[in-house]
Amino acid sequence: KKSESKEHPPPPINVIGIKDFKELSPLIKSVTSSEWKVTALNNNKWKINVQDGNAYRAVTQKLKDENLQWYTYENKHDRPIKVVARGLHHSCPPKEIIEDLQGRGYKILEAVNLVKKEKQLNEQDAPTTVLKKLPLYMLSFDKDDDIQKIYEIKHIMNLKVEIEPLKKTTALIPQCKSCQSFNHTQRYCQMEPRCVKCAGKHNTDACQKPKESPPKCINCSGDHPANYRGCEVAKELQRLRDKRDKPARKEKPTELGRRESVPNSKGMSQNFSKVGVSYAQIAKNIKEIQKVKPTTEDMLALVLEKLEGHSKINQIIFNRLDKIELQLSNKKYGS
């Protein structure tokens, strides 16, 4: 029978910018004697896995003390219990909601009023987006609280409520509001801050970029804010994440996307995607990603490399098409 008190391994710690393993190894050894493992990734990136919470806290504190760049993730085994209280009027102060539940023995951590976006016309009859407060509150409780008792709550501040599970409303890949990178959040980031507006090495609230000057994305260098979900890097990483999370299934040839078919010099058809990258190249990239299980930064580097290579690949394709067209023309006219 398994012990109920068994501790789950903490999440990995990703360290950036250390060039030599000889720099990293003594640093870890100096703060923990328990078992640990390191995976060397691309571009001076290292993934550290430790076995227990004490080692995790010791290593992360050491990284802070050494002023190194690193990030980690929320420990899923320490996640709070989150539910929705339906029926609480939006005018109810969160502080009073918390006090009411704490006074009844609940280990509540947070109460947040939920909102939704609505489009309206302003005074100039121009469309604008406003936030409408809803009679819904997200309540977060300590992970050790009694979940059955939480669902038995029938009133808060003398208002009749119904407790419901918190539904996941988005499958978007998370993005850090500090360093603007993907797959982790600001709370677990010790990376150098980058501005969402100008890509500068400062927090966004300290940005002095004039309003009339165009924004710059730190991820793709495009003229848009770094949190724009239409960013080519964000879209490609989202596509990779969605593909990873989808259940495995056989795809029909017609589902592989639209491609133009042209005959090659041997009379066989050769397919190219309209964006200038062959399916074989994309499949190869995906297989390589799955094989080494890289961090999001590795996927980001791969995406940027692919985007930068599009023009070169297009040129190669056009050259091949010119040669094929010439060969077909020679055969047709017998020259």
In the chain, where are the structural domains located?
13-74, 81-165, 171-246
* Non-local CB neighbours of 147 within 8 Å, separated by 6+ positions: 81, 141
Token duo for residue 12: 């990995």
| Strand-strand pairing, 81-86 and 127-141 | antiparallel
pTM value is 0.58
Query: How many Å apart are CA 139 and CA 147, to the nearest integer?
Result: 12
Classified as helix, coil or strand, 156 is strand
Length of the chain: 335
Query: What residues of the chain score a pLDDT lower than 50?
Result: 1-3, 253-276, 288-292, 335
Rounded to an integer, what distance in angstroms lies between the CA atom of residue 258 and that of residue 279? 11
Question: Identity (one letter) of the amino acid at 131?
Answer: L
Q: What's the Cα-to-Cα distance from 316 to each of 99, 138, 142, 214, 323, rounded to whole Å?
A: 67, 54, 58, 33, 11
Predicted confidence at residue 90, as pLDDT, reads: 95
What's the token pair of residue 263?
């005959």
Structure tokens at 84: 């929705």
CB 262 within 8 A of CB 328: no
Decide the pairing of beta strands 69-71 and 36-40: unpaired
81-165, which class in CATH?
alpha beta
Decide if 230 contacts 238 (C-beta within 8 A): no
Which three-class secondary structure state does DSSP give residue 173? Answer: coil
Dihedrals phi, psi of 156, to nearest 5 degrees: -140, 130
Token pair, residue 285, equals 């990239």
Distance set, CA 299 to CA 277, 288, 296 (Å): 17, 10, 5
Q: Which helix (DSSP H) or strand (DSSP E) does residue 83 occupy?
A: strand 81-86
The span from the CA of 187 to the CA of 197, in Å, is: 20
pLDDT of residue 25: 96
The CA distance from 121 to 7, in Å, is 54
Among 95, 81, 98, smallest CA distance to 142 is for: 81
Alpha carbon distance 63, 17 (integer Å): 12
Q: What is the CA radius of gyration of the chain?
A: 26
Pairing, β 13-16 against β 45-50: antiparallel
Report the b/e string of 191-228 with b at 16+ CB within 10 A.
Answer: bebbbbbbbbeeebeeeeeeeeeebbbbbbebebbbbe
Give pLDDT, residue 305: 61
Q: What φ, ψ does residue 34 adopt, rounded to 5°?
A: -80, 170
First to last CA, the chain: 82
